[in-house]
Amino acid sequence: MSRTETNDGAAIPAAATSTRGWQELWLKEDWWAIWLGLGIVIVALLLFANGSSIRWIAVTPAKWSTVAQLGAHFAGNWERYVAQFVLWLAVFSLALGALGHKPREFVPAFVFLYLLSIVIIAIGQWDKANTYNLEPPLVALVVGLLLSNLIGLPRWLDAGFRVEFYIKLGIVLLGATLPFTLILWAGPVAIAQASIVSIVTFAVIYFVAVRLGLDRRLAATLGAGGAVCGVSASIAIAGAVGAKKEDAPIAITLVIGWAIVMIFVLPLMAQALHLSAGVGGAWIGTSEFADAAGIAAAQTYGDLAAHGAVAGNSDQALAAFTLMKVVGRDVWIGIWAFVLAFVATTRWERNELGRRAYAAEIWWRFPKFVLGFLVASLLITVVTSGYSLAAYNKAVNPALVAPIKDLRTWAFIFCFLSIGLTTRVRDLAHAGRKPFLAFTSGVAVNVVLGFVLSAVVFAAHWDNLAR
């Protein structure tokens, strides 16, 4: 493909690219998250079936109370970290190379990201970490934001800070740690609750925005960002309704701003309201705006449960969040896009750009990584279904599930750091007062409604999740 240069030197393609059909399998990061995530799960299953495990390479810093202990851990396990680093580097290079990223930019960026991730996870394993609220997701986010906004990093390093790719990989791996029966049991309630909140939140943002005099396409782009799946939804709906070029960056600014605020606020509020891990996770899943930010908040709340600061266990928060956000909200983006495209092309702007709504959009825009999440869950559930609880805890968990969970932790930390490292406040578009008011109206309604549904209407359901 021939390329030309923009005024600031960025390459722009001279022709459009297409990912329709089979090409999507290697040109979309959703599919690469599936290939890598399911690849890890299948290798883990094969080794487990042969009496072995991926545990050796799924190393993470151990609990420590003195620096000497931490040093001894690294001295005794450095080969495992080197092997793990090489593994991540190899598979990420393959995936990102296929997507078009340059290895000479990705490799140094990932070296930096991996070393920083070791530090972040090690901080979280300090036995006093909880005393000082040093939860790894929050530490990663703050460190990333400080580095990118106060010190500044070369922009080409962004090649290794792939927020969405890492979170999708982490969610596929998360599927391997959730029983498929749990998804079937809790999924319908998650879908019902998420649908109520999504429709109400979208309606509030849309109608407030229109009432304030904003263009309907910007209103829809803002509404989807607040109601469905954050930045991804804003981009999808911007395309579906033919939004102006400047509309999506406005929505992106508001989604990122509120999502970062909610990473800190929602776990704090949930703890102050004495919500259990499952209920808190469901509320976060209902009221966070992006998968990456939501996982950061849910994992923070799960860590609080692990330390006894809230009732329940750490897995409940992540499970409830994922069911609510991924199964309940994300998968419906195609339907939102189709419906809004239909409205836009039949009522708002007939034939302006010769566009029309296609039912196939429901599949085109489906967040495919969710399929990996479901398949990973199904695979592990089928393989482990013959074990008693005692045998599962003794043999299956330490050799199969726990190492996958540890690799998932790495993927999430890569993501949390990347959020901060790629969020440059000065680069974000100026949102303006009216879009801010419209979006914030939706945030207020969303948070209250999400709380009522999670902590009152469906409280028993979420409280008992994965107990």
Partner 1 sequence: MTREREACCGSCDHFRNDPAYLEAVLNGLTGMGSGYAATRADDGLCLRHDRFTGPRGSCRDYRGDGRAEKRMR
- Name which position in 40, 116, 194, 233 contacts partner 1 (CB under 8 A): 233
- Name which position in 171, 218, 222, 255 contacts partner 1 (CB under 8 A): 255
Q: Which is nearer to partner 1, 237 or 310 (CB)?
A: 237
Site for partner 1 in 31-50 (CB under 8 A): 31
Name the one range near partner 1 by CB under 8 A: 41-49, 71-79, 106-114, 353-361.
353-361
Site for partner 1 in 169-228 (CB under 8 A): none
By the rule CB under 8 A, 253 interacts with partner 1: yes
Q: Which is nearer to partner 1, 291 or 406 (CB)?
A: 291
By the rule CB under 8 A, 423 interacts with partner 1: yes
Q: Give dist(CA 428, CA 437) in Å, integer.
A: 17
Q: Give dist(CA 161, CA 365) in Å, integer.
A: 23
Name the CA dihedral angle for 124, 130, 132, 137, rounded to a multiple of 10 degrees.
Answer: 50
Tokens of 167: 């979170």
DSSP 455: I
Tokens of 239: 């395309």
Name the one range near partner 1 by CB under 8 A: 71-79, 134-142, 192-200, 240-248.
240-248
Any residues with CB less than 8 A from the CB of 340 and at least 6 apart, and which? 220, 224, 237, 240, 241
By the rule CB under 8 A, 238 interacts with partner 1: yes
By the rule CB under 8 A, 110 interacts with partner 1: no
- Name which position in 428, 437, 452, 459 contacts partner 1 (CB under 8 A): 428
By the rule CB under 8 A, 236 interacts with partner 1: yes
Q: Give dist(CA 134, CA 128) in Å, integer.
A: 9
- Name which position in 256, 297, 400, 411 contacts partner 1 (CB under 8 A): 256
By the rule CB under 8 A, 18 interacts with partner 1: yes
By the rule CB under 8 A, 427 interacts with partner 1: yes
Site for partner 1 in 258-287 (CB under 8 A): 259
- Name which position in 36, 38, 58, 163 contacts partner 1 (CB under 8 A): 163
Name the strand (E) or helix (H) holding 4: strand 3-5
Dihedral sign for Cα atoms in the order 36, 334, 181, 306 = positive
Angstrom CA distances, 115 to 108, 121, 122, 357, stand at 11, 10, 11, 47
